Amino acid sequence: MPTATPAPGPTPPSTPSPSPSPSPSPSSSSSRRRGPRPRYSREDVGRAAVSIADADGLEAVTFRAVAARLGTGVMSLYNYIPDKQALVYEMAELVSAELDLPEPTGDWRADLHTVAGRQRDLVHRHPWLIEAVSHLQPIGPATLALLEFALGALEPAGLSMRDRLETIAMVNGFVLNLVRAELASRAAAADPRARAGQFAMIPELLASGRYPRFAAVIAEGGQPETLDPAASFDRLLDRVLDGLVQAPDA
Terminal-residue alpha carbon distance, the chain: 99
Look at residues 115, 113, 78, 80 and name the one whose alpha carbon lies nearest to residue 100: 115
Report the distance separating Cα 58 and Cα 45, nearest Å. Answer: 15
* Residue 36: Cβ within 10 Å count: 6
Q: What is the pLDDT of residues 213-230, one digit of tens each?
A: 999 988 887 666 657 888
Threshold 0.85, pTM exceeds: no
Q: What is the pLDDT of residues 73-127, one digit of tens each?
A: 999 999 999 999 999 999 999 999 999 999 999 999 999 999 999 999 999 999 9
Q: Which residues contact 246 (CB under 8 A, 6 or more apart)?
A: 157
Look at residues 141, 160, 157, 147 and name the one whose alpha carbon lies nearest to residue 97: 141
pLDDT by residue, tens only, the chain of 250 residues: 444 334 444 444 444 444 544 544 444 444 444 545 668 999 999 999 999 999 999 999 999 999 999 999 999 999 999 999 999 999 999 999 999 999 999 999 999 999 999 999 999 999 999 999 999 999 999 999 999 999 999 999 999 999 999 999 999 999 999 999 999 888 887 787 777 777 889 889 999 999 999 999 888 876 666 578 888 999 999 999 999 997 554 4
